[in-house]
């Protein structure tokens, strides 16, 4: 494949990518905002929304992994060096791992704190472990730390995509944004 020939992800993969990204941004922002609020009905509502977002990200990530298992990702352009390809694979694997680990750590934390999640206020999700206040605090710290690691990886992911688009101009970003034109193109 030449530097300018772009293979794209499927519409399903693109849709899942952007939906999960939107939910991650919403969940992270809501979690950051609500963390230091005083206890109130609004804070409890925000916690519910945050949990619903987490469960949804977990479910969509499962669908995305299943989709990727049955649909090959487009090849990277030949201009991508081997170390960049390895770095991309490792960072994508870390992003997927965190899309599972963060919701599970939140689920474990809620279970340890004795606060069951009721998905969309309808479907009770069983607690994974018994109530344990000390463990709940540890899991809260783990959940928060993982969220910051995810935020850092997302920033790197976005920076790499922009570098490929504006500096390398190799079509990597166009794989996930099909309508995007290359910088300097006359189209």
81, part of any domain? yes
Residue 152 CB neighbours (<10 A): 10
pLDDT value, residue 181: 67
Please state the rounded mean pLDDT for residues 120-140: 97
150, part of any domain? yes
Buried residues in 33-56 as b, exposed as e (16+ CB within 10 A) = ebeeeeeeeeeeebbbbbbbbbbb
- Contact by Cβ (8 Å): 184, 169: yes
91, part of any domain? yes
Please state the rounded mean pLDDT for residues 96-123: 97
pLDDT value, residue 86: 95
Query: Which runs of consecutive H residues, i.e. helices, occur in 35-80?
Result: 41-70
Please state the rounded mean pLDDT for residues 50-78: 95
Our count of domains for the chain comes to 1
Q: CATH number of the domain that 83 lies in? A: 1.20.950.20
186, part of any domain? no
**Domain span holding position 118:** 11-175
Please state the rounded mean pLDDT for residues 77-92: 92
pTM of the model: 0.90
134, part of any domain? yes
């Amino acid at each position: 494949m030449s530097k300018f020939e772009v293979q794209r992800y499927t519409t399903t993969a693109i849709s899942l990518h952007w939906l999960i990204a939107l939910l991650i941004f919403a969940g992270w922002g809501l979690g950051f905002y609500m963390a230091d609020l005083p206890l109130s009905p609004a804070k409890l509502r925000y916690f519910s929304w945050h949990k619903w977002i987490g469960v949804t990200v977990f479910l969509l990530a499962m669908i995305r992994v299943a989709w990727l298992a049955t649909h090959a990702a487009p090849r990277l352009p030949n201009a991508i060096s081997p170390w960049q390809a390895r770095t991309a694979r490792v960072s994508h694997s870390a992003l997927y791992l965190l899309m599972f680990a963060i919701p599970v750590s939140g689920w474990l934390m809620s279970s340890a704190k004795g606060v069951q999640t009721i998905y969309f206020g309808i479907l009770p999700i069983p607690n994974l472990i018994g109530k344990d206040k000390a463990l709940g605090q540890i899991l809260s710290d783990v959940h928060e730390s993982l969220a910051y690691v995810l935020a850092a990886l997302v920033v790197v992911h976005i920076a790499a995509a922009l570098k490929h688009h504006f500096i390398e101009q190799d079509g990597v970003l166009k794989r996930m944004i099909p309508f995007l034109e290359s910088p300097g193109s006359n189209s």
